């Protein structure tokens, strides 16, 4: 008997800005490459350009303006209630520029992922590309990781590398890394949707049930 078609994984995507990673996820889904059901896009900024991408795609779009909340805990509580109403199996941070409280992060343990534009654990935080250039690095990249209470510090499970050119500015480097992010993030989400990647006890990532010793790197040719 043929097996039943796999149910798409319900997801919610959180954004703050341009939403180009969101767009890549929507495209991969639309083209049948990514078995996810994007139940909602939530932005903490009412003017985020990514909101247009989401609305145009017909996805339910929610704004929760962080400036209208007295503190981080209050914002996170509202955000959590909104997310949970969509019953996602995965929450995807795609350029979501807010530090999340440990309570929020723990609520979604193993179901909350982020993409960061460096080869973590190197260069966490902001202003990544300029710091990579200033440090004289010849290779940088992007990392998809589970989110834990430590900002950009959760266990990684897929990376892409990008060569740094001698004449790169932070802007040119950011643009090339971003292009690779658009390939990397859908593939990483695919691994989760297919049940191949999981977060086990002790913050150990497993791939196909086997503990991941080194973070796999996509061959992007970049």
116 contacts ligand GRF (rule: CB under 6 A): yes
In the complex, what is the shortest distance from the CB of residue 190 to ligand GRF, in angstroms, rounded to a whole number?
17
Is the N-terminal amide bond of 23 cis, ω within 30° of 0? Answer: no
- Which listed residue (18, 66, 107, 116) is catalytic? 116
Nearest to 25 by CA among 42, 37, 7, 17: 37
Return the residues of window 124-143 that contact ligand GRF according to CB under 6 A. 142
Question: Nearest distance from residue 5's CB to ligand GRF, in Å?
Answer: 29
In total, the chain counts a number of residues equal to: 222
Shortest CB 129 distance to ligand GRF, Å: 9
Residue 206, strand partner residues: 198, 211
Of 51-110, binders to ligand GRF (CB under 6 A) are: 94-95
Give the residue closest to ligand GRF by C-beta: 95
Does position 21 bind ligand GRF by CB under 6 A? yes
> Least distance from C-beta 148 to ligand GRF, angstroms?
16
Strand pairing of 90-93 and 210-211?
Answer: unpaired
Decide if 182 is catalytic: no
Say whether residue 115 binds ligand GRF (CB under 6 A): yes
> Phi/psi at 182 (nearest 5 deg)?
-65, -20
Packing angle of the helix pair 20-30, 170-193 (nearest 10 deg) = 40
Q: Taking contact as CB under 6 A, which single stretch among the options 16-24, 57-65, 162-170, 193-201 is the one that binds ligand GRF?
A: 16-24
Least separation, in Å, of the C-beta of 213 and ligand GRF?
A: 25
Residue among 14, 20, 64, 180 that touches ligand GRF (CB under 6 A): 20
Q: How far apart are CA 9 and CA 137, in angstroms?
A: 38
Q: Residue 108: which of 143, 75, 78, 146 has the closest Cα? A: 146
Our separate counts of H helices and E strands in the chain read 6, 11
Bond prior to 121 in cis (omega within 30° of 0): yes
Binding site for ligand GRF (CB under 6 A): 17-21, 50, 94-95, 115-117, 142, 178, 181
Give the active site residues.
116
């Amino acid at each position: 008997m043929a097996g039943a078609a796999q149910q798409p994984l319900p997801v919610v995507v959180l954004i703050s800005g341009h939403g180009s990673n969101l767009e890549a996820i929507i495209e991969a889904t639309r083209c049948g490459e990514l078995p996810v059901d994007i139940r909602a896009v939530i932005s903490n900024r009412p003017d985020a350009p990514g909101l247009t991408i989401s609305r145009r795609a017909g996805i339910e779009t929610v704004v929760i303006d962080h400036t209208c909340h007295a503190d981080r805990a209050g914002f996170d509580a509202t955000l959590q209630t909104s997310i949970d109403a969509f019953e996602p199996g995965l929450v995807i941070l795609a350029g979501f520029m807010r530090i999340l409280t440990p309570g929020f992060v723990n609520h979604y343990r193993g179901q909350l992922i982020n993409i960061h534009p460096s080869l973590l654990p190197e260069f966490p935080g902001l202003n990544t590309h300029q710091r990579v250039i200033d440090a004289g690095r010849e290779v940088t990249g992007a990392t998809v990781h589970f989110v834990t209470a430590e900002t950009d510090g959760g266990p990684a499970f897929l990376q892409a590398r990008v060569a740094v050119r001698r004449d790169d500015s932070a802007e040119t480097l950011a643009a090339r890394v971003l292009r690779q992010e658009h390939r990397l993030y859908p593939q990483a989400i695919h691994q989760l949707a297919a049940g191949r990647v999981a977060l086990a006890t002790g913050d150990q990532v497993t791939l196909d049930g086997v503990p991941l010793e080194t973070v796999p790197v996509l061959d992007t040719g970049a």
